[in-house]
Structure 1
Amino acid sequence: MWTGPGTPTGGSYPPGSPVRPPRPADRGGVRPGSGLIDRGADATGPLVEPDWWAYGSTDHPDHPQTGRPDPHGFGRQHPSGPLPPMPTGIWDRMAQGSAGSGDDPTVATPRVGGRPGDAAPDDLPDAHPASWEEETGALDVIGANVDEESPRRRGLRRSRRTGPAVEHPATVALPEQQPEAQQDHDRHEDLFPGEDELAGETDGPLTDDEIPVAPYDPRTDRARRRRRRRPFAVLLALLVLGAIVAGIVLGGQRLLGLLDPTAQDYSGAGTGSVDIRVNSGDTLSDIARTLDEADVVASTGPFVSAAKDNPDATGIQPGVYTLRLQMSGASALDLLLDPASRQVSRVTLREGLTVVQVLARLAGDTGTPLEELQAAAGDPAAIGLPPYADGKLEGFLFPATYDFEPGDTAVDMLSAMVARAEQAFDGLGVPEAERLTWITKASIVQAEAAGAEDMAKVARVLENRLADGMPLQLDTTVNYANGKGGITTTAADRANPSEYNTYVHTGLPPGAISNPGEDALRAVLAPAEGDWRFFVVVDPDTGDTRFAATKAEHDRNVLLFRQWLAENPEG
């Protein structure tokens, strides 16, 4: 219903009337701000308005159509009446469409899309939900044909508000007045629906109490799939990263090898087995080249660097070592310093052994046939025997510990011993012209003395007897002549005419009777001071040796020795 100042009191326009309420300008006078000029009173004079004019139409039964016809079909108008109404618009068509339909009168409602919480105008009656066609002026609405029956409509979610459902499938409920925080929360959930709603988990049948929200966002499903793929993606990323690091390392090693071939190096402890010989006098660089040529190491650089950082590397002994192929430089150095890697036959020769005894020891410890050793001993030139030895090998096989490698021959072994003896002789500074005599005396001292503390006294007895022209009468020389051992002789032994029999011949024998050690050699060079001409070991078990200057004193000492023999018949 609309009531204005241009209608009689109590006048009304029935619902569906085609006549719009008159404007203020229609009721005479100049409308403020209209731009019209008031030119004075109408020349025709005032006219009395007929009663039907107040109704604006011919719908009233008491006032049939009179006056001039309205070109727009609204009945008769007074000649000076207001302008005809404006052409019909959307609101007029809506009014015409609802006339006689039995629906409630069309009223203005807030526009669709207004912000939730906007209040309706105070001068409007309670709003009624309108259809999408009515709200948009009968324009086509995008999405109006969305399947309303599906329980999983995209972009729709169940409203938190409850209320009566309306029958029209395309209506929407007006937003209720809510606190701003609640409105923000609702908008957030509308834009980001929960997983239960996306999965179709609802509390019951859908009703029309729904509102359209943002379209379904497929990123939610993609995020879920990404979460499921995440462990596999991490594993794949780690594998790719490991491959990249390995490529960088291998590529760097290859590039380093191209830039500096001597810096190439294998990794690890190598495989297989290979024998490497380190010769006497080899430097670390010489050893590195040997290893490189045998493919034990990739290049000389890493081995030399590792050896320089290890002080023990200077102690690498000559010999044959069991190494592995394609080892790192540091691993090769470790094996060269490990005694277990060296292939040797170690032979220890004690002082006082004869040549016969030395050859037997070598054959047993190295596996070299005794015949080969005897043949080598009979070739003084082959084994490097010096000329002043007069071809006599006795005394020149220096007592020491020797390491013989696989492949060493009998000549190699004996040559090493002779060379070691010459080294000791040179160290003591004895002239070569005197060496044979000196070695012979030392061999007798080595054989007769019970210990190093008695050697200087034994050497003095030899000097005193030789100086007096007395025969030496030493049992050790007689046993050597007879090829025997022990500390005693028989009358038959002493009857041997050999030049080594000092009972028969005065002076020294023609050569050494054993291979003396350094202590005996030094004792001859510095004999003890004394007038002793005799000595005898009275107790071989303890090495008790008695020295005497006279024959009578010596005989008493001999009795002590015979007493020991009686107590030890097996000697």
Structure 2
Amino acid sequence: MNDLDLVPFTDESGGYGPGNPGRHRRKKERSGGRTLVALAVVVAVLGGLAFGGWYGVTKVRDFFTADDYPGPGNGSVMIVINQGDNVTDIGNTLFENDVVASAKAFVNAAADNPDSTSRLQPGNFKLKKQMKAEDALLVLMDRNNRESGPRVTIPEGLAVVEILPLLAKATDIPLTDFQEAVKDPAALGVPEWGGPSPDKLVLEGFLFPSTYELTGKETAQSLLQEMVKLAVQAATKDELATKAKELGVTEWEMLTIASLIEQEGIDDDFGKVSRVIYNRLSQETGALTYLQFDSTTQYWLIITGKGRKKIVTDAELKDPDNNYSTHVDRVQGLPPTPIGNPGDAALKAAANPEPGDWTYFVVTSKDGHSSFTSNYNQHLANIEKCRQVGRC
């Protein structure tokens, strides 16, 4: 109606303007016709607005409303929720298998259920086809609905060459398929920062340790891709990139540090082991610029087919072919690559070293705990404790 007030009208001379009161009164006999015209315009405008409003609301509703089946569904289909899948990943899997009418309907249902984030879990689930998205969500949230099936558990700290036989045995996929797949880390999802340079990517460190549900449909490449995906997620969450910058290392170096932490201590000591590494990396001269970790030589023994050993020898530490030895006069600073595949706890410790001035540590108890010090003489005394408990 305000728009109608802005419509100009003519005076007797034909010009546009409000006229004057006298002239307006003289034309009073024509006001009835004008009223009818104005009323017709108002009705038309209101009618148009009403139709436009209904049409617009309908279109907006259609835009924001996701397709959904009425349920309850029919038949059955086995759905695999992989470790690390988010709600959108799960919604896409359900849509691709015709469990839900759209991935968005499932995402909306999950958003409306405050318990969905904590209760959705990896596993194999039998669902019906063409279910209502809310019903499908409830099935996946119930742990009792998870089908028992084959799985493979990869412990923290294993090297790639140790992991591949475990995967081959659990899946019945030939080991040679895995050995061929690992030749192309980029195809498996290793990011550009995952190596000494973008054109020299390394898979070590990117096979995330976890328990993986198997369906029998995996290929060597698809299973390795899933493991790499989880590793990248773990290595980049909680602003690890920011932490790396604050600590003066790259993401690649932080992953390598995490792999060292995984090998050098138990979970309780991870934060202190991390601090020792950073303290030694910050040294400018002297013996302490070398990590002097036996675990790096242990890794070299593994990848060269010599296997794990309880205690490495002095000859192995000084072997001229050992490019992973971090002892004096060998590799200074970090080893060339990660020395295994770290888990969440080691990654967290690499990003959050405990405050301290420690530069030495050694295992001094049978349960694996270490003693830390910045005093060399105290370290020598701790080594004697290590021998007494049979850990050195």
The alignment's TM-score, normalised by the length of structure 1, stands at 0.44
Match of 1:458 among 269, 273, 276: 273
| Structure 2: tracts of 5 or more residues without a match | 1-67, 196-200
What are the residue-to-residue correspondences of 1:210-225 with 2, within 5 Å? none
Aligned to 2:371: 546
What are the residue-to-residue correspondences of 1:319-468 with 2, within 5 Å? 321-322=125-126, 342=147, 344-390=149-195, 391-427=201-237, 428-430=239-241, 434-452=250-268, 454-466=269-281, 467=283, 468=285
Report the secondary structure of 1:546's partner residue: strand
Which protein is bigger by CA-based radius of gyration? 1
Tell me: CA distance 1:492–1:332, structure 2 relative to 1, closer, same or farther (3 Å). same
| 8 Å CA contact 1:469, 1:506 repeated in 2 | no
What are the residue-to-residue correspondences of 1:293-308 with 2, within 5 Å? none
Aligned to 2:301: 482
Match of 1:492 among 301, 315, 324: 315
Which whole-Å CA distance do the structure 1 matches of 2:346 and 2:70 have between them? 54
Alignment-mate amino acid for residue 384 of structure 2:
L
Alignment-mate amino acid for residue 476 of structure 1:
S
Match of 1:556 among 381, 388, 391: 381
Match of 1:505 among 331, 338, 343: 331
Tell me: CA distance 1:519–1:488, structure 2 relative to 1, closer, same or farther (3 Å). same
1:287 aligns with 2:117: no
- Percent of pairs with identical residues: 36
| Count of residue pairs the alignment pairs up | 292
| 8 Å CA contact 2:97, 2:129 repeated in 1 | no
Tell me: CA distance 1:323–1:514, structure 2 relative to 1, closer, same or farther (3 Å). same
Report the secondary structure of 1:373's partner residue: helix
Q: Which has the higher helix share?
A: 2
Shift of residue 505, structure 1, vs aligned partner = 2.1
Alignment-mate amino acid for residue 240 of structure 2:
G
Larger RCO of the pair (alpha carbons < 8 Å, separation 6+): 2
Which whole-Å CA distance do the structure 1 matches of 2:233 and 2:70 have between them? 42
1:516 aligns with 2:323: no
1:529 aligns with 2:355: yes
| Structure 1: tracts of 5 or more residues without a match | 1-261, 294-298
Report the secondary structure of 1:389's partner residue: coil
What are the residue-to-residue correspondences of 1:75-224 with 2, within 5 Å? none
Which whole-Å CA distance do the structure 2 matches of 1:326 and 1:423 have between them? 32
Tell me: CA distance 1:321–1:543, structure 2 relative to 1, closer, same or farther (3 Å). closer
Tell me: CA distance 1:320–1:537, structure 2 relative to 1, closer, same or farther (3 Å). closer
Question: CA offsets per residue over residues 465-521 of structure 1, 9 Å max, x none?
Answer: 331442221111111111142442112211223221112222211111122223222
Shift of residue 330, structure 1, vs aligned partner = 10
| 8 Å CA contact 2:123, 2:147 repeated in 1 | yes
Tell me: CA distance 1:277–1:475, structure 2 relative to 1, closer, same or farther (3 Å). closer
Q: Between 437-446 and 281-290, report the one with greater CA deviation.
A: 281-290
The alignment's TM-score, normalised by the length of structure 2, stands at 0.61
Which whole-Å CA distance do the structure 2 matches of 1:317 and 1:332 have between them? 13
Which whole-Å CA distance do the structure 2 matches of 1:413 and 1:397 have between them? 10
Report the secondary structure of 1:513's partner residue: coil
Aligned to 1:100: none
Report the secondary structure of 1:547's partner residue: strand
Which whole-Å CA distance do the structure 2 matches of 1:489 and 1:284 have between them? 50
| 8 Å CA contact 1:459, 1:528 repeated in 2 | yes
Shift of residue 377, structure 1, vs aligned partner = 1.6
Aligned to 1:111: none
Alignment-mate amino acid for residue 385 of structure 2:
L
Which whole-Å CA distance do the structure 1 matches of 2:116 and 2:357 have between them? 53
